[in-house]
Amino acid sequence: MKISKTLGLIGVGNMGAAILEGLFAKQLIKHGQVWVYDKFTEKAREFSQFEKVRLAASNRELVQKSRVVLLAIKPQDLVQTAQEFKSVLTKEHTVISILAGTPVGKIKSILGPKPHVIRAMPNLGAKAGASMTVLSGKDPEGLKTAEQIFSGCGAVMHLDEKHFDLVTAISGSGPAYFFLLMELLVEAGIKNGIPREKAKLLAVQTALGAGLLAKASADAPDELRRKVTSKGGTTEAAFKVFESKQLAKIIHQGIEAAFQRGKELASF
């Protein structure tokens, strides 16, 4: 279903841009329905020209021209940014925040009681139409609008907001974990004589295949891993090293660090 409301994007960084690209790719919204603004005005101007969307002169103008406002800024910029537009918010506005570590209650306390507020946690897979987005909020109409937007970028699920810091650590930051593994596979190929572009294809296509297989299979990832790991084979040899170096523990500690950082961001 196409989006009928005007959409304003505050912040044209990687994530905000990826969401719009997903919407345009699936033709869920017209370019003329979208307004953008960024404190880095030249960046916003270049983006608006490239994507053929409308450029607002300020956050205030963007909110006045839009019915759905997508906040894609840094959490620490929220208070200052909100001062620029909260006076023109109405009960007709839905504000969708993708800010890490920033609860709906805090956003409402800053923006005031008028707008509906929905919290979303997508990831960079949106750029390829393959994001995982988690939504939370109490307004049915706002949730419906948010689901329309993020379904254009991939899969959507609803979870209680108490899980959002962990969602951020697992799926929000998650693409970077897989990029690191691909990076390491590419390095191993180059180190042992495979040309860079071919090493990249080996790593990326393998990651893609593994992801598609895991999504399509009824088996859990641990069962799929066991099926690939033949007794006495090459995969088992690799896993013996991973286990001896406590790779699983390292990864769990990294995710825990991301989880705790999400909680810390709530203090901004």
- pLDDT, tens digit (0-9, with 9 covering 90-100), for 95-106: 999 998 899 999
Of 164, 183, 206, the one marking the end of a domain is 164
Please report, as a single letter, which amino acid is at residue 141.
E
Q: Span 12-34, mean pLDDT?
A: 90
Is the same domain home to 80 and 125? yes
Q: Token pair of 194, please?
A: 């495979």
Share of the chain above pLDDT 70, in %: 99
Residue 203 lies in a domain: yes
What's the domain range around 141? 7-164
Between 2 and 238, name the one with better pLDDT.
238
pLDDT digits (tens, 9 = 90+) for 173-195: 999 999 999 999 999 999 999 99
- Band (pLDDT 50/70/90 cuts) for residue 150 is very high
Residue pair 89/63 in contact (Cβ under 8 Å)? The answer is yes
Check residue 129 and give left, alpha or beta (phi > 0: left; psi -120 to 50: alpha). Answer: left
Of residues 18 and 7, more confidence is placed in 7
Contact between residue 120 and residue 12 where contact means Cβ atoms under 8 Å apart? no
Query: What proportion of the chain, given as a percentage, has pLDDT over 90?
Result: 85
CA angle 150, 211, 217 (to 5 degrees): 100
Among 164, 198, 219, identify where a domain stops. 164
Inform me whether the pLDDT recorded for 159 exceeds 90.
yes
Query: 88 lies in a domain?
Result: yes
Number of domain units in the chain = 2
Domain shared by 64 and 107, yes or no = yes
Q: Report whether pLDDT(133) > 70.
A: yes
Same domain, yes or no: 180 and 73: no
Is the separation of the CB atoms in 14 and 39 below 8 Å? Answer: no
| Mean pLDDT of all residues in 7-33 | 91
In this prediction, residue 267 carries a pLDDT of: 66
Residues contacting 40, CB < 8 A, separation 6+: none
In a domain, residue 2? The reply is no
Whether 109 maps to a domain, the answer reads yes
Contacts of 156 (CB under 8 A, 6+ apart): 133, 134, 135, 147, 150
Q: Mean pLDDT over all residues of the chain?
A: 94
Q: Which of 134, 164, 194 is the last residue of a domain?
A: 164
In a domain, 190, yes or no: yes
